[in-house]
Amino acid sequence: MTTQTEARAKHKYTAKLAGDIETRWQAWWDEQGTFVTPNPGDAGFDSSKPKFYCLDMFPYPSGAGLHVGHPEGYTASDIISRHKRMTGHNVLHPMGWDAFGLPAEQYAVQTGVHPAETTKKSIDNFRRQLKRFGFSYDWSRELGTIDEDFYRWTQWIFLRIYDSWFDPEADSGHGKGRPIAELIEQFMTNARPIRVNPDAAEHDNDTKARSWDTWDSMTTDEQRLVVDSYRLAYLGEQTVNWCPKLGTALANEEVIDGRSERGSFEVYRKPLRQWMFRITAYADRLLAGLADVDWPESTRIQQTEWIGRSEGAEVDFALADPPAGADEALRVYTTRPDTIFGATYMVVAPEHPLVGAVLLDPPAGTDAGTVRTYAEEARNRSDVERQESKEKTGVPLGIDVVNPATGERIPVWVADYVLMGYGTGAIMAVPSGDERDFEFAKAFNLPIVDVVYPTTVMAIAYAAEHAREDEPGGWQTLMADFVGHVTSESVPPEKFEAALGVVRTRRKTADDAPNMRGGVQAEWLLTIADMGEPDLASIRARFAGKRHWDASGAAFTGAGRAVNSANDEVSLNGLSVPEAKATIIEWMESKGIGNGKVNYRLRDWLFSRQRYWGEPFPIVFDENGHHHPVRAESLPVALPPMADYQPIESQDPQPLLAKATDWLHTTAGEAGVDSLPADAKVTRETNTMPGWAGSCWYQLRYCDPKNESRFVGLDAERYWMGAEAKNPGVDLYIGGAEHAVLHLLYARFWHKVLYDLGAVSTPEPFARLFHQGLITSFAFQRKDKTLVPVDEVENKGTEEAPEWVETATGERVGQITAKMSKSLKNVVNPDDVIEQYGADTFRLYEMYMGPLEASKPWNTKDTIGLFRFCQKLWRLCVDEETGAPRFADEADATTEKKLHRMIDKVGRDIDRLAFNTAIAAMIEFVNAADRLTRDQMDRFARTLSPFVPHIAEELWAKLDKTEPMGSVALQPWPEVDHEMLVDDEIEIPVQILGKVRSKIVVPAGADQKSMEEAALADPRIVELLEGRTVRKVIVVPGRMVNIVAN
């Protein structure tokens, strides 16, 4: 190496220099408190600026450290935050740790180290890694869900929910949460009938039927029963998802295909007394709120489907000969009460009480042994087994009910395709109108009665009947008219258009047939098309016996008209599905056998976990087993130190905290319980809260993380959450789509309860939500679709035409993209990339990979391009030999123009979260610029600052700006002179018949006429138009000219 290159290397942008610059400025930011954000009322708070709350989903600090997926969203939010600061906003951009939860505990169990210790280590590592990226978090607001002064308030919010009920009439019928005290007041003044909450799933019908005349006449236990049945947090005996391997029950949301989301262990159904949240009371509110937030459509759809609102009816079917102890009637829920005339049998879930009653007192026709065996087997099957096969199984119960619409006796079956957890656990089966019922009826030879005909069938029938013999083709018009007339409600008209089009053209080729879609309708019309040149007579003949939809092939669930649906009192025949529903519900209600009912797929939220590493409940039990809240002043109920946190792997749920006997047994006075005498012996709740608890409200605590008297200060909350804003809530929330239903639904629920109680000022927590795409990696796949680790594959082809071969076998493998995983050896560690190129290059690369929302493959080869960009921009601004800034003496007009354009483009791209194209614009500028003036470099450094904050800060210092003005991150975004964005002359493509044939240069403001003249005068165009007639010239000013000529 020569002396000259050594000298040059000294101030060249190398990985080492990048590292030096980056760590130096990171330390300086910390020291200066550059990104510490004052709250309203604090020194330095500027109330004239608008606020912007930019939130990342906080990470779960795992032992493995940051994944490359973390910095993707975090860099995006950092760019936004930095840009917002520079455009005059007060920016709240915090970070913290979602640190309670199963993985830390499992890891601790494996290694024998206490979860508090491993979690602290993981947090320290995560913090170090995040700081190394130069993210502009206000670290003074850092919080962790495991901190006592955080979970103290998690417990406090739990108690607020515990102390609330949902009043469906409040808020002019929308319903809202209210304090329990107000419910008791209503009972005491008899403003509300005193009875057990009819919507409380945890109580049986007998309990729900009880009522009392006055509050004072009730015993304490009765009062407790009634009040507890209304609480939004309640203890309920529930069939839960019990996972023996994890030693805990899981929420529905944490069970995937019958296995635990975490660890993929089998999950069983088990009755257990658990803390539940009455989230179902908020189902409609949670649905309605989705209309007010700026969220990805797909996420709103997922939440809507998870809530799963359906409108239908509950109907009672009287038992023909009720067994002793059974109810007189079997109550079902159906979304299709209009099909009741087609109900030919009934099905109850294996757990349904009627099964038990039948077994206790088997009627004459019952094969009790078969029923018992089936019910027990079905109950004991794990969810995995239950979902493995969708083959319909079931046995008859040997009893009948009477179909109230037809008056006919129909049999009751027990089958596991009916679930106890939804509706009433019993259904009326309509094989002609429901695919599952149809399969079951086919399997067990049960009768099928058509009750709805597809609209097209009706159309054909109608046309065949009314068309006139002397009017060839008239049936088609009639049919089309009919179709157009009756399908307004749900069948998309274009489907009919497509199908009718085929009929009209008599189907050009036979190949069209398999391509036709649109269901039944198209098929029937194709049948007609198949007839060649149909005349009315042949259509009549063809459909004479087929004027009904033939249900022997499949159930029909689409839009249609009711048939075969009449009795002496009511007829649905000819009505559309919605009309028929309304009519039959009215009839049922008048007869007292049923009523309209809304149902939800959403279940109440199971909130207890039998684990150690979570927030303890602020609840104790007295000697009678009644629960009592711990008063707010005595919070937190701290997690007791334990040496033995080994789970009790068992089929019988055992909370771990039961082992902490000293902590477990205490007195009401010690525990801080007001509702009992101080010396009363109490036992603490031994379950803990699930990992979701802290993330349900952390966005609020960030607003005021040090507050000791309230979970968040009123002013801080109102300001940062935007109480008065048009679109209130966190301004931008960036995180993964995997939280679309879990965290994002739970957090909305907590927030809405707090809002109803007046504790927070906005109805929704997150005004705008954005999901960053998954960062995948290249991997290799054999022909049989099995995957091969990347280090077991080599390229036998060229770079240009790669030919990937598995080294061990020589087998050709295909390159695909897949999730990063240890087994595929395609995981990228962010630390390594920073080591090689620095954090600025890493940030640029992840933002440059593609659109933020898209899933994109990591390709380490590509990172060099962004490093080269850093080198180039460094060289543009800095003399590599001396390290001094290098300036142009005077501004070059072209460079100045390009700078303005680049700044404009970057600013607009940041606003639309298109960082990839913003970076491309900066690269283009650097490639084109030769040398900048001091003033140009000043503006350039500001523009760079959100993307490569360290280089920008270093340039800012080299410009001698740091001392007088402070960090570049706190400077205003450079102004764009809009005059600079327009050219005097522009080049316009001239097309002939849509193909570019020439280009002309016209003044920027040229009007249509002059552009047309210039285009037609262009020599090349003149030449090409020779001998042709110009029919039309389309001119789009400022864009293009298209000449239509032949």
Pair type for strands 787-788 and 769-771: unpaired
Asked whether 1015 and 1002 are in contact (CB, 8 A), the reply is: no
Compute the least distance from the CB of residue 391 to RNA, in Å.
7
Nearer to RNA, 468 or 812 (CB): 812
Q: Which residues pair with 194 in a beta bridge?
A: 212
Compute the least distance from the CB of residue 575 to RNA, in Å.
18
Nearer to RNA, 32 or 859 (CB): 859
Nearer to RNA, 42 or 738 (CB): 738
Compute the least distance from the CB of residue 107 to RNA, in Å.
23
Asked whether 630 and 637 are in contact (CB, 8 A), the reply is: yes
Two tokens at 271? 């009755």
Compute the least distance from the CB of residue 5 to RNA, in Å.
8
Give the closest residue to 95 by CA, choosing from 78, 112, 108, 111: 78
d(CA 805, CA 797): 9
With residue 529 as reference, give the H or E element that holds it.
Answer: helix 519-530
Which of helix, strand or coil describes residue 312?
strand
| Cβ burial, residue 633 (10 Å; 0-12/13-18/19+) | exposed
Nearer to RNA, 440 or 749 (CB): 440
Nearer to RNA, 25 or 440 (CB): 440
Compute the least distance from the CB of residue 864 to RNA, in Å.
5
Asked whether 930 and 965 are in contact (CB, 8 A), the reply is: no
Residues whose CB falls within 8 Å of the CB of residue 975, separated by 6 or more in sequence, listed in order:
none
Nearer to RNA, 667 or 776 (CB): 776
Q: What share of the chain is helix, strand, coil (3-state, %, to 5)?
A: 40, 20, 40
Nearer to RNA, 620 or 779 (CB): 779
Nearer to RNA, 92 or 922 (CB): 922
Nearer to RNA, 723 or 1045 (CB): 1045
Identity at 1015, one-letter amino acid code: A
CA separation (Å) from 124 to 97, 119, 160, 215, 834? 10, 9, 33, 56, 18
Compute the least distance from the CB of residue 783 to RNA, in Å.
13
Compute the least distance from the CB of residue 41 to RNA, in Å.
39
Torsion angle of C-alpha atoms 197, 201, 204, 205, degrees rounded to 10: 60
Place of tokens 């680790």: 789
Nearer to RNA, 60 or 187 (CB): 60
Cα angle vertex 289, ends 285, 291, to 5°? 135
327: left (phi over 0), alpha (psi -120 to 50) or beta: beta
Identity at 513, one-letter amino acid code: A
Give the closest residue to 874 by CA, choosing from 9, 3, 83, 7: 9
Asked whether 328 and 341 are in contact (CB, 8 A), the reply is: no
**What secondary structure letter does DSSP report for 291?**
G
Q: Which residues pair with 991 in a beta bridge?
A: 996, 1042
Asked whether 722 and 763 are in contact (CB, 8 A), the reply is: no
Compute the least distance from the CB of residue 545 to RNA, in Å.
29
d(CA 453, CA 564): 10
Nearer to RNA, 288 or 996 (CB): 996
Nearer to RNA, 524 or 645 (CB): 524
Nearer to RNA, 763 or 850 (CB): 850
Helical segments of 381-491, H only: 383-388, 435-444, 455-466, 474-486
Which of helix, strand or coil describes residue 627?
strand
Compute the least distance from the CB of residue 1017 to RNA, in Å.
17
> How far apart, in Å, do the first and last CA atoms of the chain sit?
69
Nearer to RNA, 213 or 985 (CB): 985
Instruction: Please give the full DSSP string across 569-609, using - where no structure is assigned.
Output: S-B-TT-BHHHHHHHHHHHHHHHTSEEEEEE-S--PEE--B
Compute the least distance from the CB of residue 84 to RNA, in Å.
19
Identity at 1005, one-letter amino acid code: G
Compute the least distance from the CB of residue 1019 to RNA, in Å.
12
Compute the least distance from the CB of residue 915 to RNA, in Å.
10
Q: How many residues does the chain have?
A: 1046
Compute the least distance from the CB of residue 817 to RNA, in Å.
7
Compute the least distance from the CB of residue 11 to RNA, in Å.
14
Compute the least distance from the CB of residue 747 to RNA, in Å.
17
Nearer to RNA, 158 or 848 (CB): 848
Asked whether 428 and 340 are in contact (CB, 8 A), the reply is: yes
